[in-house]
């Protein structure tokens, strides 16, 4: 799957369009990233434009270095860029990856946008890439994210204690969730009915 990172993957449904992250997305996403509450539970601490610039261009470099595949999220209903997400921790050998590094403008949270985006990513992972496992992680203290992940049918597998060091030097416990290939058809038919 060495060509995976070279692909121009655009995923789209009636609500959202996920576009490969490029430098052209910077102005629209910087407008979103200025909402400080986005970064409360993330390992990256974005307090100013320099922090965001580092975060943004690191994501682009990760794709160039075949480490992750970042997307810009366009909300078709709101008619604006809404945030970003990625495929990361990719192991084609073991047929798994992680969906994460996801953030949205606070005004667009709990509006159905996240579910629309997760549907696109899960479909691509299970149906195009033939993965056996898709993982999602969040900070143990991020109740909103934990609830959202559970609502899309992911199974909580456990707590990873002192799993990460945040950019500010603090330790983060992470909660690990997954969906496996056998579960996907049922989740698609029930939780994502209508997509």
- In tens, the pLDDT along 8-21 reads 999 999 999 999 99
The pLDDT assigned to 26 comes to: 98
- Three-class SS of residue 73? strand
The pLDDT assigned to 2 comes to: 61
145-181: pLDDT as tens digits: 999 999 999 999 999 999 989 888 889 899 999 999 9
60 touches 23 (CB < 8 A)? yes
Helices (H), the chain: 26-33, 49-64, 113-123, 143-151, 184-190
Q: Which residue has the tokens 């579910």?
A: 115
Q: Evaluate if residue 41 carries a pLDDT over 90.
A: no
Closest CA to 121 of 165, 93, 144, 88: 88
Residue 130 zone, left/alpha/beta (φ > 0; ψ -120 to 50; rest)? left
Q: In the chain, what percentage of residues exceed pLDDT 70?
A: 99
The residue that leads in pLDDT, 58 or 43, is 58
Cβ neighbors of 22 (< 8 A, separation 6 or more) are: 60, 72
137 touches 110 (CB < 8 A)? no
Question: What is the DSSP-derived secondary structure letter of residue 126?
Answer: I
Q: Evaluate if residue 59 carries a pLDDT over 90.
A: yes
56 touches 26 (CB < 8 A)? yes
Strand ordering across the sheet containing 16-20: 11-12, 16-20, 69-75, 80-91, 96-104, 133-139, 171-180, 155-165
* Secondary structure element (H or E) that encloses residue 76, with its range: none
Average pLDDT over residues 1-14: 91
């Amino acid at each position: 799957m060495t060509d995976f990172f070279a692909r121009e993957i655009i995923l789209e449904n009636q609500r959202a369009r996920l576009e490969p992250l490029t430098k052209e997305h910077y102005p629209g996403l910087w407008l979103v990233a200025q909402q400080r509450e986005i970064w409360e539970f993330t390992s990256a601490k974005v307090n100013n434009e320099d922090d965001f610039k580092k975060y943004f261009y690191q994501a682009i470099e990760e794709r160039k270095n075949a480490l992750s595949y970042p997307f810009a999220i366009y909300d078709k209903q709101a008619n604006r860029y809404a945030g970003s997400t990625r495929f990361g921790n990719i192991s084609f050998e073991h047929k798994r990856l992680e969906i994460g590094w996801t953030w949205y403008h606070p005004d667009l949270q709990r509006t159905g946008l996240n579910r629309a985006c997760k549907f696109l990513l899960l479909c691509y992972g299970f149906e195009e890439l033939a993965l056996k496992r898709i993982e999602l992680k969040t900070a143990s203290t991020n109740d909103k994210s934990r609830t959202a992940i559970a609502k899309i049918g992911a199974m909580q597998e456990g707590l990873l204690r002192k799993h990460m060091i945040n950019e500010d030097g603090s330790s983060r416990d992470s909660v690990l969730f997954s969906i496996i290939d056998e579960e996907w058809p049922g989740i698609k038919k029930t939780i994502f009915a209508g997509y």
